[in-house]
Amino acid sequence: MARITDRSKIAKIHESIIDTVVAEGIKNASVAKIAREAGVSTGYLYRFYPGKEELIQAIYNDLFKRNTDMLSQLLEKEERLEFVISKFISFLFDQANNHPNHVLFFLKLMTDYSFQLRTKESNILIEICEKALSLGLKTKEIREEITPEILYTVIVGTTFFLINLRKRRIFKDSSLTTDDINMMTKLYTKALA
C-alpha cells in the first residue's frame, strides 16, 4: 500500500530548513536538526529528499522561481522600467515583512560559496536582466554602458542588502515601508540613468 504524504509535514520541513540555514548557515544545518525542528523523523525526511543538499536546492528553486516569475511578469506587463523596479522592490519588501527568513535564506545562499547557482538559473537571471536592459534602453531610463551584471547588482543586490540591514536592526528597527520603496526606486533610477 502506498504511503500517504502529509503536506503539512512537508511544509514544516521546508520552513525548518529555511529557519535552520538562516540561523546556522548551510554547513551547520544537518538533516537531524532540520528533522527535529520540523517535528519529523530523519527517515521521514529521507523519504522525500536524498540529503541536505537536495532539500536546500528544492527550497532555493521554489524561491528563485517565485522571484523570477514575478520579475518576468512585470517586464511583460509594464511599459517603464521604473514601474518594474518599484513593483519588484514592493514584492521583495512584502516577502521580507511577512516571511523574513524566506528572503534571508535566499540571500544566505546567494552569498555562500558552498552553494552553487546552476547554469539554468544563471541563464534565467541573465535573460531577465537583458529584458530589463532592453526596456530601460527603449524608454531611455538606462544609459548604454549599464550591463546585466551591474543592473542586477544595483537593483537586486542592494535591495537584499537593505532587507538584511533592516531585519538585523542595524540602523532601524521597523518594517520596510512604501517610503522605503519610493526612496529605493528613486536611487536606482538615478543610478542607472
Domains detected in the chain? 1-49 (1.10.10.60), 57-192 (1.10.357.10)
pLDDT recorded at residue 48: 87
Q: Report yes or no: 103 and 160 within 8 Å, Cβ to Cβ.
A: yes
Burial 145-172 (b: 16+ CB within 10 A, else e): ebebebbeebbbbebbebbbebbeeeee
pLDDT recorded at residue 9: 86
pLDDT over threshold 50, residue 191: yes
Confidence of residue 1 (pLDDT cuts 50, 70, 90): very low
Q: Tally Cβ neighbours within 10 Å of residue 94.
A: 14
Q: Give the position of cell 528553486.
A: 61
25-45 pLDDT, tens digit each: 999 999 999 999 999 999 988
pLDDT recorded at residue 4: 60
